[in-house]
Amino acid sequence: MELFAVMRSEAFTLWEQAALWSVLGVAVLGLLYAGFLTVEMLRHDTGTDQMRRISRAIRLGANAYLNRQFRAILFLILILAGLLYFTAGEQHIALGRACAFLMGSIFSATVGFIGMNMAVQGNVRVAAASRTSFARALKIAYRTGTITGMLTDGLGLLGGTLIFMIYGEQAYEVLLGFGFGGTLLALFMRVGGGIYTKAADVGADLVGKLEQGMPEDDPRNAATIADNVGDNVGDCAGMAADIFESYEVTIVSAMILGWASFGHKGVIFPLLVRAVGVLSSIVGTYLVRTSEQARAAMHAIHKGYVVSAAVSIIGFCLIGFYYLRFPDQGLLAGWVTLGIDGLDMRPVWTTLVGIALAVAINYLTDYFTAPEKSPVQFVARSTQTGHATTIIAGLAVGYESSVWAILVIAAAVFASCLIYAGTNPTYIAYGVAMCGIGMLTLTGNNISMDVFGPVSDNANGIGEMARLEPKARQTLADLDACGNTTKAITKGIAIGSAVIAAVSLFNAYITDIAKVLQISYADVASMLSISEPMVFIGFLIGGAVPFLFSALTIRAVGRAAFLIVHEVRQQIRDPRIMAGTKDPDYERVVSICTQEAQRELIGPGLLAVLAPLVVGLVLHKEALGGFLAGIILAGQLLAVFMANAGGAWDNAKKFIEDGHYGGKGSEAHKASITGDTVGDPLKDTAGPALNPLIKVMNMVSLLIVPFVIRAESPGGWLWVVVLASVAVLGWAVLQSKRESPAMRKWSAEAVAGQPVEA
């Protein structure tokens, strides 16, 4: 094959070729395993006609949304691919970069699309299985998630490995294209899906639970189907694309930095580590099962995780022994030199730091959001003094949680500094990147656990709407409760890995500048001193970006929810709907959600791409460096705050619903619903979307920095680009803040004295 010409040249030894082909084989194995699980899942029973009808409504709504979203961003993706093609220097690289960009976005979209479709196929099968067997229901729900997990692992590893095999030492820019495509698409999926799911959820809860006292998923609530669709487009499609992107960007950054520091060995080692992760996820996820008597869902899932982790750690050490010291001399040499001078196990230690970091972040997430721990207890207790103190308590818990999360991340970076003490910053950055590799080793398990959440949530919803028998309902409720716990975990890991990846990419930014200007790394570093006023200005502006982004997305949810509340309230006025003799018009709410989520997509997307461009062109490369640092810091702090404050409110509500402080229907319960509702757009829209945002901006900066440096001796065209970008950016922000005519009309009526009854 001509494609692999680079690889078969002198540059790669036979051992290296074998290693790369093995990694590719493992990636394909992961995909085959996903296929196997899909076939297995689809064979299960789909229940009664009514269940199938409900499931079909959810599936149609979800697919209609995704199709519309893909069409909306297709144009932008094609323009960017063209720009990437025409702005690269060499023809060979230009083509590769544009194709890799398309590949990254298609992979990300595919993971989201398939992941979601598996979830909507899985939910009804879980509901059907719950009528006969707890064990089978658990297995279907969990393995539905594993399909997405394996797809993520497989495609992420496949893309990175292929690019390296084809481009060899020229892979740098192509890898950037791959990473950029994946993150950009994930950003769109997160923003669109996040707005959709939370607008539907908030709208459904406000009218259904708070005003009418209906239970969750009551079929009389017109927003019920939209709410279930939202779980799929947000928690499945958006989340899967996002984790794919995290998985992909950590591998891209490790490969880029590995090449810069250690050549081939620095690139192949992280690929081998990832391959071990895929194998251990297959083993661990396969083992997740429980007996009909034990009904121990959480225990089974946890056991699978521990097995995978153990397999991984042993695997890493073996690869370290065998590969890092004597990659060319086969197995035996590795054994012999074990413990002998010159064996460099430092990359292994940094991956283990990554695993430790994942464990620490999981612990913190659990501490700040688990119902029995003191932060949630504090929030729950505050519900007794009303809505306001509930919110205040949640804010305090959220702010505190981001402190500890950032300290843990700082400690991981510090560990990398200690491991590579006395070497140069590039080595340390490689260590940080390997820490990201370690953190996301068990992505297969993480996604299984995460998708398990919305699948069992939806299955429970179908059970409720199809009025299944009590035993099945109990099984579904148990699985749903377990899913609420497991799905909290991935979010913390995703945002933590974003910071780790961004910190390592930041180093690539400096290497990039050094290459373009043909000066030393140290010279570039000294340009980026925080004592430079321009760096500080960029830094202030960068810090503002996550705040602007959050303001836009939160506002979007608030606005869409407002419209849905209006719609549901109007439908509920029909007495036949409340009596249960007529189905509400679910379709209308689904269509409002789709429309509103679409409208908001373009603004944040343009912000992510254009803001670094404007900062770079107007304020130059120093400010752009500060800008990236500011985004990382503010983004991390806000994202963790949002995730954990939201989680704490959510679980405080559940704690009260378990009968404490007066239980369901009490004033305390109402206050806790307010907390949960406020937390929704924070924890499921703005917060998670900050994760791809941080990385998109880093990727864009890496791609444009040669252009930015050339633009420092400005011509007339520069100002044209700047002004056009600013104009588009301004339009996008205003567009995001604009209110729909229906909303304006309604609020004008309200001001004029016709308040909508609450």
Which parts of 207-236 interact with a copy of itself (CB under 8 A)? 210
Q: Which of 510, 593, 601, 606 binds a copy of itself (CB under 8 A)?
A: 510
Residue with tokens 């509702």: 677
460 vs 553, beta carbon nearer a copy of itself: 553
Q: Would you say 365 and 644 are in contact if contact means Cβ atoms under 8 Å apart?
A: yes
Cα dihedral sign, 558-559-564-566: positive
Residues near 459 by Cβ (< 8 Å), separated by ≥ 6? 122, 123, 124, 126, 127, 130, 137, 141, 476, 479, 480
Q: Which of 6, 318, 343, 395 binds a copy of itself (CB under 8 A)?
A: 395
Cα dihedral sign, 196-199-201-203: negative
Compute the least distance from the CB of residue 523 to a copy of itself, in Å: 9
Q: CA angle at residue 480 from 474 to 483, to 5 degrees?
A: 145
537 touches a copy of itself (CB under 8 A): yes
Helix extents (H) in 2-48: 5-8, 14-42
Other beta carbons within 10 angstroms of residue 573's beta carbon come to: 8
Q: Is 386 left (phi over 0), alpha (psi -120 to 50) or beta?
A: left
667 touches a copy of itself (CB under 8 A): yes
Q: Which of 626, 646, 687, 692 binds a copy of itself (CB under 8 A)?
A: 626
Q: Which of 295, 303, 373, 555 binds a copy of itself (CB under 8 A)?
A: 555
535 touches a copy of itself (CB under 8 A): yes
Q: Which of 95, 170, 343, 662 binds a copy of itself (CB under 8 A)?
A: 662
Q: Which of 36, 335, 363, 547 binds a copy of itself (CB under 8 A)?
A: 547
The tokens of 244 are what? Answer: 């794919």
In the range 102-161, which residues lie near a copy of itself by CB under 8 A? none
Q: Would you say 527 and 712 are in contact if contact means Cβ atoms under 8 Å apart?
A: no
400 touches a copy of itself (CB under 8 A): yes
Other beta carbons within 10 angstroms of residue 642's beta carbon come to: 28
673 touches a copy of itself (CB under 8 A): yes
253 touches a copy of itself (CB under 8 A): no
613 touches a copy of itself (CB under 8 A): no
Which range in 106-114, 125-133, 175-183, 555-563 contacts a copy of itself by CB under 8 A?
Answer: 555-563
Q: Which of 59, 131, 381, 683 binds a copy of itself (CB under 8 A)?
A: 381
The tokens of 501 are what? Answer: 């990846």
d(Cα 103, Cα 252) in Å, to the nearest integer? 14
643 touches a copy of itself (CB under 8 A): no
d(Cα 108, Cα 89) in Å, to the nearest integer? 27
Task: Please classify residue 170 by burial: count the beta carbons closer than 10 Å to its beta carbon, then call 0-12 exposed, 13-18 middle and 19+ buried.
Answer: middle
35 vs 425, beta carbon nearer a copy of itself: 425
428 touches a copy of itself (CB under 8 A): yes
543 touches a copy of itself (CB under 8 A): yes
The tokens of 357 are what? Answer: 């970091």
Q: Which of 22, 666, 735, 740 binds a copy of itself (CB under 8 A)?
A: 666
317 touches a copy of itself (CB under 8 A): no
Compute the least distance from the CB of residue 745 to a copy of itself, in Å: 12
Q: Which of 64, 406, 481, 709 binds a copy of itself (CB under 8 A)?
A: 406
d(Cα 1, Cα 3) in Å, to the nearest integer? 5
In the range 678-717, which residues lie near a copy of itself by CB under 8 A? 678, 681-682
Compute the least distance from the CB of residue 60 to a copy of itself, in Å: 28
Q: Which of 196, 244, 539, 586 binds a copy of itself (CB under 8 A)?
A: 539
Which range in 107-115, 227-235, 236-244, 539-547 contacts a copy of itself by CB under 8 A?
Answer: 539-547
397 touches a copy of itself (CB under 8 A): yes
Q: CA angle at residue 101 from 601 to 94, to 5 degrees?
A: 135
Return the amino acid letter for 615. V
64 vs 618, beta carbon nearer a copy of itself: 618
399 touches a copy of itself (CB under 8 A): yes
Which range in 77-85, 216-224, 427-435, 461-469 contacts a copy of itself by CB under 8 A?
Answer: 427-435
634 touches a copy of itself (CB under 8 A): yes
End-to-end Cα, the chain, rounded Å? 69
346 touches a copy of itself (CB under 8 A): no
551 vs 721, beta carbon nearer a copy of itself: 551
The tokens of 513 are what? Answer: 């500048």
182 vs 496, beta carbon nearer a copy of itself: 496
727 touches a copy of itself (CB under 8 A): no
Interface with a copy of itself (CB under 8 A), residue total 100
CA dihedral of 146, 149, 155, 160, whole degrees rounded to 10: -140
Task: Please classify residue 68 by burial: count the beta carbons closer than 10 Å to its beta carbon, then call 0-12 exposed, 13-18 middle and 19+ buried.
Answer: middle
540 touches a copy of itself (CB under 8 A): yes
Compute the least distance from the CB of residue 552 to a copy of itself, in Å: 8
530 vs 727, beta carbon nearer a copy of itself: 530
Q: Is 468 left (phi over 0), alpha (psi -120 to 50) or beta?
A: beta
Other beta carbons within 10 angstroms of residue 82's beta carbon come to: 11
HSE value, Cβ hemisphere, 13 Å, CA-based, for 459: 40
742 touches a copy of itself (CB under 8 A): no
Q: CA angle at residue 576 from 573 to 582, to 5 degrees?
A: 115
Q: Which of 5, 331, 720, 756 binds a copy of itself (CB under 8 A)?
A: 756
Residues near 171 by Cβ (< 8 Å), separated by ≥ 6? 163, 164, 255, 259, 267
Compute the least distance from the CB of residue 236 to a copy of itself, in Å: 24
409 touches a copy of itself (CB under 8 A): yes
530 touches a copy of itself (CB under 8 A): yes
Residues near 695 by Cβ (< 8 Å), separated by ≥ 6? 179, 183, 245, 246, 249, 498, 501, 502, 505
d(Cα 354, Cα 360) in Å, to the nearest integer? 10
413 touches a copy of itself (CB under 8 A): yes
334 touches a copy of itself (CB under 8 A): no
40 vs 658, beta carbon nearer a copy of itself: 658
Compute the least distance from the CB of residue 497 to a copy of itself, in Å: 15
Which range in 6-14, 43-51, 587-595, 663-671 contacts a copy of itself by CB under 8 A?
Answer: 663-671
Give 666's DSSP letter: S
237 vs 429, beta carbon nearer a copy of itself: 429
Which range in 58-66, 248-256, 336-344, 428-436 contacts a copy of itself by CB under 8 A?
Answer: 428-436
Among 593, 379, 643, residue whose Cα is nearest residue 487: 643
Return the amino acid letter for 670. K
430 touches a copy of itself (CB under 8 A): no
